[in-house]
Amino acid sequence: MSEPLLVVEDLSVEFATDTGWVQVLDGVTFGVDRGETVGLVGESGSGKTVTSLSILGLLPPEGSRVTAGSIRLDGVELVGMPKRRLEAMRGDEISMIFQEPMTSLDPAFRVGDQIAEVVRRHRGGSRREAWKRAVEVLETVGIANAGSRARSYPHEFSGGMRQRVMIAMALSCEPKLIIADEPTTALDVTIQAQVLDLLRSMRDEFGTAVVFVTHDLGVVADICDRAVVMYAGQVVERSEIDALYATPHHPYTEALLSAMPQLVARTGRLATIPGSTPPAGSMPAGCRFHPRCGHVRDRCRDTLVAERRLDGGGTSRCLRVSDLVLKGSA
């Protein structure tokens, strides 16, 4: 079988701090197939955003470095690619949607012009053609009266509409891959449902692959085909989505699932995970999750744990994976 569309392999990233370089990603590995939506989940600080910025080649040039690993899109190596070529790919073959669209949209320009500009940069063509394409994609994402709304400025849109504009911009050059980092986190659930629906139909219509970064396991259940669970800069579990929720293979996944408050009637106190995520630069020895793990054994405290392939096709970074039966979500 040929390689997946996106391959992230053994990616390690460091950031400069007052006390020297600290590692924030350690050997991150996962793949994304064509037309597939893969969720990147974990608590804040686990490395989701650093992973997505790495794929986009948007890590801060000063103060950060990729120390190992490879990122390939359609077989083309992105790590170490010259800036100019990366810029040419961004918006064309890979595009992005972030949590706060206001920071990615220029308040001084009409949204139609901003989309047209992306189209012209990557596809060339006349102003007229690019404007036509902008209106077309605004229509695709469900902006009513797209022809006249294209003349509006970002501040004249609500939060949900701005996120649609971002999606329109991301789709304008029919990319192979979209990186969406918490794209619905700032939205109301009703608007989130609209945006998720939109992303689903874009995937069905254009076969766009999506890396969907979120901390919300409900959103992952709704939109993703597979998930990559991150903890403290490492991937701790990879799985197809139904299996992840039914039979998780890492105690951290189990703990996250049990902590999700549910819409059903309450049953006692809410579950918590003791302690908190370790800060970058002071990772516990052995399994990084061991100080918080309910299944910890002595050997977990000093044995380095590698990610292991499992029979079902997923992976787990837990020493006890073969003798633990973990609880999924009801």
Q: Which stretches of 141-188 are DSSP H helices?
A: 146-149, 159-171
User: Is 59 or 88 the residue whose CB approaches ligand ADP more closely?
Assistant: 59
Q: d(Cα 93, Cα 89) in Å, to the nearest integer?
A: 5
Give how far the C-alpha of residue 44 lies from the chain's centroid of Cα atoms, to the nearest Å: 12
Q: Burial letters for 118-128: b for 16+ Cβ neighbours within 10 Å, e otherwise?
A: bbbebeeeeee
- Under the criterion CB under 6 A, does residue 150 sit at the interface with ligand ADP? no
User: Is 44 or 267 the residue whose CB approaches ligand ADP more closely?
Assistant: 44
User: Is 12 or 49 the residue whose CB approaches Mg ion more closely?
Assistant: 49
- Under the criterion CB under 8 A, does residue 43 sit at the interface with another protein? yes
Report strand pairing: 177-181 vs 209-214. parallel
To ligand ADP, the closest distance from the beta carbon of 185 in angstroms equals 11
To Mg ion, the closest distance from the beta carbon of 49 in angstroms equals 3
Comparing CA positions, the residue from 156, 184, 149 lying closest to residue 39 is: 184
Residue 237's region, left for phi above 0, alpha for psi from -120 to 50, else beta, is beta
What is the identity of the amino acid at 309? R
300: partner contacted, choices another protein, Mg ion, ligand SF4, none (Cβ within 5-8 A by kind): ligand SF4
Q: Looking at residues 106 to 125 of the shown chain, list those that interact with ligand ADP (rule: CB under 6 A).
A: none
- Under the criterion CB under 6 A, does residue 172 sit at the interface with ligand ADP? no
To another protein, the closest distance from the beta carbon of 101 in angstroms equals 15
To another protein, the closest distance from the beta carbon of 156 in angstroms equals 11
Site string for ligand ADP, 264-293 (x = CB under 6 A): ----------------x-------------
- Under the criterion CB under 8 A, does residue 256 sit at the interface with another protein? yes
User: Is 222 or 254 the residue whose CB approaches ligand SF4 more closely?
Assistant: 254
What is the identity of the amino acid at 98? F
Q: d(Cα 145, Cα 185) in Å, to the nearest integer?
A: 27
In order of 111, 118, 224, the CA distances from 151 in angstroms are 7, 16, 34
To another protein, the closest distance from the beta carbon of 37 in angstroms equals 12
- What distance, in Å, lies between the first and last C-alpha atoms of the chain? 35
Q: d(Cα 87, Cα 78) in Å, to the nearest integer?
A: 11
| Range in contact with ligand ADP (rule: CB under 6 A) among 48-56, 66-74, 200-208, 312-320 | 48-56
In order of 13, 27, 87, the CA distances from 60 in angstroms are 11, 19, 14
Contact 237, 231 (CB under 8 A): no
- Under the criterion CB under 5 A, does residue 49 sit at the interface with Mg ion? yes
User: Is 98 or 131 the residue whose CB approaches ligand ADP more closely?
Assistant: 98
* Residue 186 structure tokens: 């700032």
To another protein, the closest distance from the beta carbon of 217 in angstroms equals 4
- Under the criterion CB under 5 A, does residue 184 sit at the interface with Mg ion? no
* Interacting residues toward ligand ADP by CB under 6 A: 15, 24, 42, 44-50, 60, 280
Interface residues toward another protein, by CB under 8 A: 43-44, 158-161, 188-194, 196-197, 215-222, 241-242, 245-246, 255-257, 259-266, 269-273, 276-277, 329-330
